[in-house]
Copies of this chain bind each other. A is one copy, B any other.
Amino acid sequence: MGQRILVVNPNCLQGVTQSMSAALDEFRLSGAPEIRCETLENGPPGIETQAHVDEAAAKLALYFSDSSPKKQADAYVIACFSDPGVLALRELLKAPVYGIGEASYLAAAALGGNFGVIAIVSKGIARHERAQRALGLHHKLAGEIAIDLPVADLQKEELVWTRMSAVGARLRDEHGAQSIIMGCAGMARYRTRLEAHLGVPVIDPTQVAVGMAMSGLLAKRAGAADKRAAA
């Protein structure tokens, strides 16, 4: 049986999960680990406050407390930029658990320069800063700015684009960001356009986390091949 990466969207919006899954299609190479995206059906509809983070964390632990086959995987990705439940799941699950917020900061650091973060709402910035400090990468933060659109307006693609591109340009020009992290799980569809517009690498959190998970699983295969050869 093949390897599987299970991506869990900890908010309850199926649409977000679907667009997330679509943004991972290029990672579904022939022979690559399966990438399955699931929705935490009883999760909060959005994760904006610390209380939402805590709620999602608690529900994720419950979600994984039964061992139904569809929850079995060789690597897990928790697809919310605030990394709810990741610390707990690392204690509960044997396979590696990646948080997409952490993965973004680490992927940005792998490029070498300082990064900027485009937040959805200003009140998340302090929470993100705590995560950057905990990881040790806050010294590489050029700045973080929110687009601060009302939730209803997050569906208005051009409005979002106008804000994201303006915020991205400020992070690049005023803060010296050499790469830009889109600080939210469901924004992958703007990645290419934003990268082309800004001329610096733009990171989608879910993609880089899945990439890390996939990398880890491919390395395990390499190992297994060695072992078979040795046997």
Contact = CB atoms under 8 A, between A and B. Distances in A.
Given A50-B91, A88-B54, A212 B27 contact: no
Contacts of A203: 219
B23 A222 contact: yes
Contact of A224 (B140, B192, B211): B192
Interface of A: 23-27, 29-32, 49-51, 53-55, 57-59, 61, 84-88, 90-92, 96-98, 102-103, 106-107, 109-113, 123, 126-127, 130, 133-140, 188-189, 191-193, 195-196, 201, 203-204, 207-208, 210-212, 214-216, 218-227, 230
A221 B26 contact: yes
B219 A207 contact: yes
A135 to B, nearest CB: 7
B88 A112 contact: no
A74 B78 CA distance: 28
A230 B191 CA distance: 13
Given A91-B51, A134-B134, A208-B215, A29 B31 contact: yes
A130 B112 CA distance: 12
Nearest to A230: B193
A158 to B, nearest CB: 12
B223 A192 contact: yes
A186 to B, nearest CB: 14
Nearest to A87: B50
- Most chain B beta carbons < 10 A, residue from A51, A107, A123, A230: A51
A215 B222 contact: no
A24 B219 CA distance: 8
A110 B136 contact: no
Given A55-B58, A87-B112, A227-B193, A27 B211 contact: no
B216 A26 contact: no
B49 A91 contact: yes
Contact of A215 (B123, B133, B214): B214
Contacts of A91: 49-51, 123
